[in-house]
Structures are given as C-alpha cells and as structure tokens.
Structure 1
Amino acid sequence: TEDLDEPVLIPEMPLQPEREEPPYLGDYFLITNNTGYPFTELYIYSAAMMKDGVNGPNLLDGELLYDQASVQVYPKEMSGLAEPIYEATDQSLYLIAVDVDGDQYAASWDPHSESWNILIQFHYIVDVEPDEPAYLGDYFQITNNTGYDIHYIDIYSDAMLEESKEGFNLLGDGVLYDGEVFRIYSDEYPDLAKAIYEDEGEVLHIEIYDEDDDYYYRDWIPDEESWNVEITIGDFVDTEKLSAEVNGDFFQVINDTGYELWYLFLVTPEMWEAEELGEDLLSDWLLYDGESIAIYPDEFPRIQELLDARSGEKLYFIAYDEDDYRYKKEWTPDADSWDVVISAEDFLDF
C-alpha cells in the first residue's frame, strides 16, 4: 500500500514573464492581440504598399496569435516597412487582422508618436454584421444600436427573479460598444437555458445601462422573436418623463434612497400597528436608485379600495432595500403629490 503520509510534490508552474515595452525606433515592435479571439491572419503595410496593392506577408505564417499574446516584427527584415518607420516622419502604417470567426480588425499606427507595442482591441472590428443566430441554436445575441456604449446587461425570467432579486451583469467588466454584437451562450447559464429551451412561451426581461447610466428595458420571447435582439434608443426608459396627477390613473414611486428597493407596500395606520403589510407592489421587480415605478391602483384591488374608502386619510409606504433596511413614507392621497419620493430621510431606524 502507498504511504499516505508521504508528501505529494506538485510541480511549480513557471510565471509568465512580463512583456517589456519595445524601445522607440528599436529593432522591433510588438503587435498584441487584445480582442478576446485568436488571430489567424495579421498584416501590416504602408501607404505606398497599399497604393501598389501589396499587404505584405501574413505575419503569423500559419500560426494562431491567441488573445493577450504578441508577435515581434522586425521592420528591417520586411520589404517596404523600414523606410516609413526609420526615415519618413509623417507616415502611418496600417494593420489588418482576421480572427478565427472570420471577423476583421483594422488599425493605424504612427511609429513616431505612438507606443511600439501596438494593441489591437475588440472595438477595432470592422465586420459587425454577423450571421443571424439560429432559432433555438447554441446562442443568441444582443446588438447595440442605441448610439451609446453599454456597460450592463441583465436577462432574467420571472422564475429567476423569484429565486434571486440580485442582478447579474452578463458583460462582466466588458463593454458592448455601439454598433457591436454580444453573443450569449445559454449553456453557460443553466437558469437562462431552462427558461429558453424548456419553458414554452417564457418572457425574458432585458435590463441595460449605458455609459451615462441611462436605463433601457425590453421583453424578449425566444419562442416567437428573432434571436438577434436589437437594443435601440426606443428601448430607453425616461424615468423622469412620467408625472402622476392627483387622483389620476396611477401614482408614481421614485427611489431616492441611494440603494435598490426590493419590496414596497402601501398600508393603513391600522395595518402598520398590526404589522400587516399586504401585497408587494414591486411584485418581481427591483426599483433601482434614481428610478421610478408607475403603480396603477386598478391592478391592485385592495389599493383601489383604500383610495376610494379612505378619503382625506393618511397612508404609509413601507419599503425595504437590498440590505433589508426599512423606510416609511407618509402619504395623504387627497392632499399630497402622486409623485411619491422615498428618500434617505424616510429611513426607519429599528
């Protein structure tokens, strides 16, 4: 039998050396892939070469240049590159890269004013019109046609929201630039996959924030709609546009607490004393800081009865935030604005 007390030696993995910045006007420069996709082809050429219809050789020579990897280029060994780099001072060079999906990236480089480590970023892509995703295929995609860069995407079903009201940014630390496409592979998100492939007729909710923290919302029904989900300026939600009229069709609750509100109730003084809350007016929604929600009493029979039967009497909005802290806002429907702001001043210290 093996001696279980004998230590197991685990080989130490070598650390990846840090990439050194190439010296200005040195013997070589670097081209670094920062797109997230491996390159199959990479070309660099001058304006003179372009006029002659010459792109130069494929710098990768049949190899893949993986994401975050670099290739060293020695200009003096390549025809047509040495002169614009070492002699001319007013010429730029041009780069074309092709990734494993066939998408192309284009960039320019001024060797006399820019770093000699040339980063090719994802937003240099020039082919932003990928094929339409197949219905019930491996992935669907979000196309950003808002005119702004998107920093946050959350997609969920009602059942997912019941499990957790905490949002999840599918972009992570990434950015979906205007005009670009973000592919989402459902098998990476089991709850999302269930809603798409197993729950017939499921409505998915898509919440988005752009670079200015503006909010966009739309529904998507995978069984009925295109799997290329376009987000446009028409999906923008102007949270300041609504203005509720006293005794109108709806009242509006505006979150100015600095935190997400997870629960919202409207109670009478008697209910408050008895610690009864009634129905959650947010249902399965989150009310983010700075946002508002329009509540139509005819959709909540008990609320409609309160407004009809208690003329001139005060009510209380009770809200709970993401940290389970409580807020209490007094409201007299006949006298107060129907734009109800719940702020940090309404925080109720237990």
Structure 2
Amino acid sequence: EGDYGSDLLDWDLIYDSDELTVDLAQLDYLDEALQGDSDEVIHIIARDDNGVLYHKKYYPNRDIAYVVFEAEAALEEAESLSLYNDTPADLWFLYLATDEMVHEKNFGNDLLRDGIWEMKEAFTFKVSPALVEDNQVLHLYAYDYLDNEYHKEWKVSDGWTLTFNTDDLSTQ
C-alpha cells in the first residue's frame, strides 16, 4: 500500500516505450468496478523516476483493457490539506476516503501512520490531485483512543484548512 492505493508493480519497472500487464482483478476492492455493467471509474496513478505523477481514468465497462501513460497525463503538484485538532482528545487514526470507499467500508491507509495527532495541534498532508480534480466530496474520519469517531465532509471549494471539533463527533 502506498499514498495512492495499492502498488501494482511491486518491484517491476516500466521503462519508456515498454509494456507491463497488471491484473486489476487481484484487488478485491475492485471486483464491483470490474464487472461489465458497472459505471465506476478506476483511477490509475503512475510515478516516474523523477517523482512526476501521471493519472488515467479507466472505465472497465467501456475502455479497452489497455492503459497508455503519456506526458499529457502528468498531474500537477499535490496540494497540502491542513487540519487542526480541537477535539477533547488526541487522535490516533486519520483517514481520507471517497464516497465509494465509504460505501465499501474501506477507508484506505491511516494518514497518521504510527503517529498520534495531539489536541491543539495541526496535521498537514498532501492530497492526490486525482481525488480533488472534480471537486468531489471527500470524507475525513479521525478516531481517538476510545474509538470515538469524528467525521468531516470536505471538498476543495471548502478551502485547504479544516478544524476537527466536538461538532464532528459521530453519533452512530
């Protein structure tokens, strides 16, 4: 797992003008999207040896099973989202998820990794340009040591600075 999802290349490299076949069916969370009648989009992100990111949208139900990355697919630099913890507790887990991920109950990787986001502290991280390009609603979930859930909906038009507080405490 990486910052942009599952690393499908493992230790393989794709050199300029080379091809590599990757089996998307190996990822259980793509099962529904890969079925012929689904309109779901799969975002494929590649990073070159200079750290430049490339993004392609793949629609399994209408695209051929072949994706070509070209210079035009290069993504702009990722923006930083700054969060402030104004909750009554240190937060131990933080996730950024799309509607689809929430529906699948798969929030991805913990953005805090092994860290703890302390009360009255800020936490800043880079957001993949692919996630914000359509101004879609994204979900931020944070959990304290008692497993209390704090949830915030966010989209780019809301700005790049947010505060978690007791109003975000989920009642579920």
In the superposition, the TM-score normalised over structure 1's length comes to: 0.26
Report deviation, 1:263: 0.4
Match of 1:251, as an amino acid? L
Q: Deviations over 1:188-242 (max 9, x none)?
A: xxxxxxxxxxxxxxxxxxxxxxxxxxxxxxxxxxxxxxxxxxxxxxxxxxxxxxx
Note the alpha carbon deviations across 1:157-205, whole angstroms, 9 max, x for none.
xxxxxxxxxxxxxxxxxxxxxxxxxxxxxxxxxxxxxxxxxxxxxxxxx
Deviations 1:74-112 (A, max 9, x none): xxxxxxxxxxxxxxxxxxxxxxxxxxxxxxxxxxxxxxx
Select which of 124, 149, 163 maps to 1:326.
149
Answer yes or no: is 1:349 the counterpart of 2:171: yes
Unaligned runs of 5+ in 1: 1-246, 298-302
| Partner SS for 1:250 | strand
Do residues 337 (structure 1) and 167 (structure 2) align? no
Cross-structure match for 1:294: 124
**Structure 1 residues 5-16: aligned runs within 5 Å:** none
Question: Partner residue of 1:276?
Answer: 106
Q: How does 1:155-304 map to 2 (within 5 A)?
A: 249-297=79-127, 303-304=128-129
* Aligned AA (1:318): Y
Structure 1 residue 258, shift from structure 2 partner: 1.2
Q: What is the match of residue 67 of structure 2? A: none
Distance in 2, Cα, partners of 1:248 & 1:305? 9
For 1:278, the aligned partner's letter is: G
Q: Any unmatched runs of 5+ in structure 2?
A: 1-76
SS in 1 for 2:132: helix
Greater C-alpha radius of gyration? 1
Which amino acid counterpart does residue 165 of structure 2 have in structure 1? Answer: S
Residues in 1 aligned to 2:86 and 2:150: alpha-carbon distance in whole angstroms:
11
Q: How many residues align?
A: 96
Provide Cα deviations, 1:16-69, integer angstroms capped at 9, x if missing partner.
xxxxxxxxxxxxxxxxxxxxxxxxxxxxxxxxxxxxxxxxxxxxxxxxxxxxxx
2:79 aligned counterpart, secondary structure: coil
Runs ≥4 residues deviating over 6 A: none
Q: SS state of the match for residue 341, structure 1?
A: strand
Shift of 1:272: 1.0
Identity %: 30
For residue 336 of structure 1, what is the amino acid of its counterpart?
A: D
